[in-house]
Amino acid sequence: MAMAGVYRRLLPSPPSVDFASSNGKQLFLEAIQNGTMEGFYRLVSYFQTQSEPAFCGLASLSMVLNALAIDPGRKWKGPWRWFDESMLDCCEPLEMVKARGISFGKLVCLAHCAGAKVDAFHASQSSVDDFRKYVIKCSTSDDCHVISSYHRAALKQPGTGHFSPIGGYHVGKDMALILDVARFKYPPHWVPLTLLWEGMNYIDESTGQSRGFMLISRPHREPGMLYTLSCKHESWNSIAKFLIDDVPFLLKSEDVKDIHKVLSVIFTSLPSNFEEFIKWVAEIRRQEDGGSISEEEKTRLAVKEEVLGQVQETRLFKHVASFLSSSCGRQTLTSGEGDALPVIAASVCCQGAEILGGKLSSLSAYCCPETCMKCWKAEDDKSITMVSGTVVNGNTEQGVDVLIPSSSGKLCCTCSSKKNIRMHPASTDVLTVLILSLPSTTWAGITDQQLLREIHDLVSTENLPTLLQEEVLHLRRQLHILKRCQEGKVDEDLGAPIS
């Protein structure tokens, strides 16, 4: 029997011009001569085809993130860290994207969560002149790239809403080069910029908002060097709401008179699964990847250790440690710093195995019967600490190495039989950073002015060292984005997250 299917589409021309046609080649050469194809070379180096019919947004974003050389901070396959559509699951479950695509606002949310610097505009709140200005800006540089969200009907193409990056611009013809990620359907093609703008003015029926465009660029430093917020578990929705909405209400309703009471109000009300929400970013690899530690790994670990040390030097950390050492604090939080080394080491290795295996299932499927601590000496005589373990999942097992930052000489290298040794990550530093990351409006309901001044002094980002300040502001932006997702407002408010 014949196999039914669709093999490509005939590109409607006009208005579009096939990139590989004689006219398309001439436009390309003229644009190169005018200097408006500078962004093309990096984009085309990472040009990909969307893996699902509704993954045009995810394919466009992963292509741009890779072109900007932004480190995803997590493995793709084998030992490789690489942005792939399957990894862009922060603001919308992949199954939902597969079924109905993704909105413009949620793709903006994903770009923020991935660590990019993003400027996004609904067409209804911008102008064709602004759009042209930004296209020219990114076409004359390889430091930023434009993703357009448009309706295919404006270009006389069958289909509805679509995302694709813009690869270049022709000044004389006022045409933009669309690097269409639906390469099974259309090749790259030149289109009149005014028609593309018309396509961005179509209303997305799922949100009631017009489509638009976003400029994506690389931040000056990789965000989330040590801490990140996770929304891979269902708990993120309620925890984001608790931190932004419930904590300010609780502090306002309680008669708080000192820092200890403030911490008690927050920590005694924390959802039991909050530890799934804020995570350490650790370097993970399979043992068969090689025994030596690369200079790149050493550098990243050194930064993580510096961030951790800066956390422990804050006055807030000392208040949190004091609270957790009290009877009230011990009853509130029973895990974390009090855990024995074998328990934490096994947990760390299981998390590493889960990530390496690309699994999103419960860690209960993994068993780590054997762990060991190793120390490596760097050139500056600093010790690099590694947790090594054998992780079992069903009938298979694998060796996992996890590089763990340590500070203040608190982490000792030994085997897991020494049950009295403790290591990070601990409740104290995680909770300290979580409090620092809360928005400034959190404390507005406290009526005691002296206490209010003391809190502001403790949590002010202006008083933090640069590395820790950037870490905290990144978490605060993540929290703000997740709250907007939780409220369903990401398509209304495209502004940069609060600092």
What's the pLDDT score for residue 169? 98
CA atoms of 245 and 315, how far apart (whole Å): 25
Same-domain pairing of 209 and 314: no
Q: Residue 484: which pLDDT band, with cuts at 50, 70 and 90?
A: confident
Does residue 140 register a pLDDT over 60? yes
What's the pLDDT score for residue 477? 80
Overall average pLDDT of the 2-23 stretch? 89
Count: domains in the chain = 2
What's the pLDDT score for residue 362? 46
Q: Looking at per-residue confidence, does 470 or 180 come out higher?
A: 180
Does residue 286 register a pLDDT over 70? no
What's the pLDDT score for residue 395? 64
Exactly one of 180, 204, 429, 491 is catalytic; which is it? Answer: 180
Q: Does 485 fall in a domain?
A: no
Q: Tell me if 147 sits within 8 A of 164, measured CB to CB.
A: yes
Q: Does 413 fall in a domain?
A: yes
Q: CB-side exposure of 458: number of CA atoms within 13 Å?
A: 25
Looking at 18-27, 241-250, 270-279, which range is the least confident one?
Answer: 270-279
Triad 146, 192, 13: Cα angle to 5°: 120
Exactly one of 112, 145, 151, 162 is catalytic; which is it? Answer: 162
CA atoms of 342 and 349, how far apart (whole Å): 11
Triad 252, 255, 260: Cα angle to 5°: 100
Q: Looking at per-residue confidence, does 323 or 255 come out higher?
A: 323
- Percent of residues, the chain, with pLDDT higher than 70: 73
Same-domain pairing of 213 and 269: no
CB atoms within 10 A of CB 129: 9
Does residue 396 register a pLDDT over 70? no
What's the pLDDT score for residue 361? 43
Same-domain pairing of 174 and 249: no
User: 177: domain range?
Assistant: 17-217
Same-domain pairing of 213 and 237: no
Exactly one of 56, 138, 144, 231 is catalytic; which is it? Answer: 56
pLDDT digits (tens, 9 = 90+) for 311-351: 999 999 999 989 888 856 555 554 444 444 445 555 555 55
Query: What tokens appear for 44 in the block?
Result: 């085309």
Q: Does 48 fall in a domain?
A: yes
The residue out of 191, 217, 243 marking a domain boundary is 217
Does residue 47 register a pLDDT over 80? yes
The burial class, CB within 10 Å (0-12 / 13-18 / 19+), for 261 is middle
pTM of the model: 0.69
Same-domain pairing of 293 and 429: yes
Active site residue 162: yes
Overall average pLDDT of the 61-72 stretch? 92
Overall average pLDDT of the 462-482 stretch? 85
**Domain CATH for 33:** 3.90.70.30
What's the pLDDT score for residue 144? 95
Q: How far is CA 278 from CA 172, 210, 224, 240, 306, in A?
A: 51, 34, 11, 11, 19
Same-domain pairing of 70 and 116: yes
Does residue 424 register a pLDDT over 50? no
